Amino acid sequence: MAGPREAIQHMILRRNYGCTHFIVGRDMAGSKSCQTGEDFYGMYDAQDLASQHAAELGMQTVPSQDVVYTQEKGYTTADEAKAEGLSVMKLSGTKFRKMLRGGEEIPEWFAFKSVVKVLRDATKA
């Protein structure tokens, strides 16, 4: 929940363990206001800060865009889906966990069947 500064910390830790590249997701370690529900940081603030400091940390950043699944096109970026008026499929983490525990079918666009099997097997143990 430290936002962009947490991305820098993760880069340093990974560099110290020998990594040369760092994948920075969208809204990495973001957090919301408990009063307004609004994000404290922009979706790509962590990527921007990580890129600014990559050279001095001896790392290369690999930014990850906001990828969504659409009925019409399959996987695409959120910006492209919005621009083209595509129907974005959504499944929250909370709903996913509920479906997983309940033995419901998990859509393949959300998780690979092999991953779902591992998760289900792990919860039975």
pLDDT tens per residue, range 3-53: 889 999 999 999 999 999 999 987 776 677 778 878 788 888 999 999 999
- Rounded Cα distance between 36 and 39, Å, is 9
pLDDT tens per residue, range 64-116: 888 899 999 999 998 999 999 999 998 877 888 899 989 999 999 999 999 99
- Rounded Cα distance between 38 and 46, Å, is 17
* DSSP 8-state class, residue 39: B
